[in-house]
Structures are given as structure tokens and as C-alpha cells.
């Protein structure tokens, strides 16, 4: 866990499989009352979500699923609504320039609470091709095999 981050609530493990993450940004997230309560219970899904920059120059987190709060009333939130991300103008301008290049996407990597505020770690990712994914899986498996062999060798 990088320095200064709080307790991780959710991680997008599929992001590192589908994208090569080149840069990360920490962003605040605008939530409604029942969303933060449900989020603090650890009930959130980042798997199919992504971020996009709209016409107003604001960054939106799309398709992140936060289920309704069980003790909520009729004012409960919509589970998959778009949520605004809070970034500095310089960061947004940098992201606009980078995401206009072919193959780049903004992917949420981790959701956590830091100093009482919900934060999202957004990664600037370049989509991997199928053969890149296979190559990564081969490397991962080889590393596992080497570690297993070293452990067995040391235990003798």
C-alpha cells in the first residue's frame, strides 16, 4: 500500500490484467449519504467501471456499483449512477491530453478511505492485446514455479 493511503475497501484486480498502467492519480469522489454508509460496510464493485471526461471538463466515474444501504429509506441512492471525481484542474487537463491518444483509458484501481474521505486511485492504462495477456500469465506462472522450487530447496 503506497504511503498515506487508508484502508482499502475495494480493488480492481482485473485492471492490471486488461491494461498496462502507466500513471496513477488520487481523486476524491462525490457521494450521497447512503452511498458512503454502504461503502464503509465494504460493499462496492469496481470490476466493470471506468472513468471518463465529459464536455464540461469534469471527470465522471461510470458503472461503479455501490448497492443500496440496507437501513436506508426511500431516499436511497441509485446503485450504478455516475459519480463525479474531484481532481485539480492541471490533472484534468493532463488527463484530457493523454486519454485522447489511441488505446488509453482511465481505470479505477482501488477505492479506500483516507482521513475520513472516500478516495479512488485512478490509473491511466493502455489496453493490452490478447498475446500480451498470455505473456503476462506465462511470466506469472514461471515466477510461481521458481518460488515454489526455491521454497522446496530451502526446506530440505
pTM for the structure as a whole? 0.76
Residue 107: count of CB within 10 angstroms of its CB: 23
Written as nine digits, the cell of 147 is 518460488
Q: How far is CA 40 from CA 13, 67, 81, 115, in A?
A: 20, 12, 18, 13
Write down the pLDDT at residue 66: 86
Write down the pLDDT at residue 1: 42
Domain residue ranges in the chain: 7-128
Per DSSP bridges, beta strands 19-29 and 7-11 are unpaired
Write down the pLDDT at residue 25: 93
Contact assessment for residue 36 and residue 118, using Cβ atoms and an 8 Å cutoff: yes
**In tens digits, what is the pLDDT along the chain, a chain of 156 residues?**
454 466 788 898 888 888 889 999 999 999 887 888 888 888 788 888 999 998 888 999 999 888 887 776 666 777 778 899 999 999 999 988 888 877 788 999 999 999 889 999 999 988 888 777 888 888 889 999 999 888 888 887
7-128 falls under which CATH superfamily?
Answer: Small protein B (2.40.280.10)
- Residue 109 backbone phi and psi in degrees, to 5: -100, -40
Report the alpha-carbon distance of residue 144 to residue 72 in Å, rounded: 45
Amino acid at each position: 500500500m503506497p504511503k498515506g493511503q487508508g484502508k482499502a475497501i475495494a480493488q480492481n484486480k482485473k485492471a492490471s490484467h486488461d491494461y498496462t498502467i502507466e500513471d496513477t492519480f488520487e481523486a476524491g469522489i462525490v457521494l450521497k449519504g447512503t452511498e458512503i454508509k454502504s461503502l464503509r460496510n465494504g460493499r462496492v464493485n469496481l470490476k466493470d467501471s471506468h472513468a471518463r471526461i465529459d464536455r464540461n471538463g469534469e471527470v465522471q466515474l461510470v458503472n461503479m456499483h455501490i448497492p443500496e444501504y440496507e437501513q436506508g429509506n426511500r431516499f436511497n441512492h441509485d446503485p450504478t449512477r455516475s459519480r463525479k471525481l474531484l481532481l485539480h484542474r492541471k490533472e484534468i487537463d493532463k488527463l484530457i491530453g493523454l486519454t485522447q491518444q489511441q488505446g488509453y483509458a482511465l481505470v479505477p484501481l482501488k477505492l479506500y478511505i483516507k482521513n475520513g474521505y472516500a478516495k479512488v486511485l485512478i490509473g491511466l492504462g493502455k489496453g493490452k492485446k490478447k498475446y500480451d495477456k498470455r505473456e503476462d500469465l506465462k511470466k506469472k506462472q514461471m515466477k510461481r514455479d521458481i518460488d515454489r522450487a526455491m521454497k522446496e530447496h530451502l526446506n530440505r
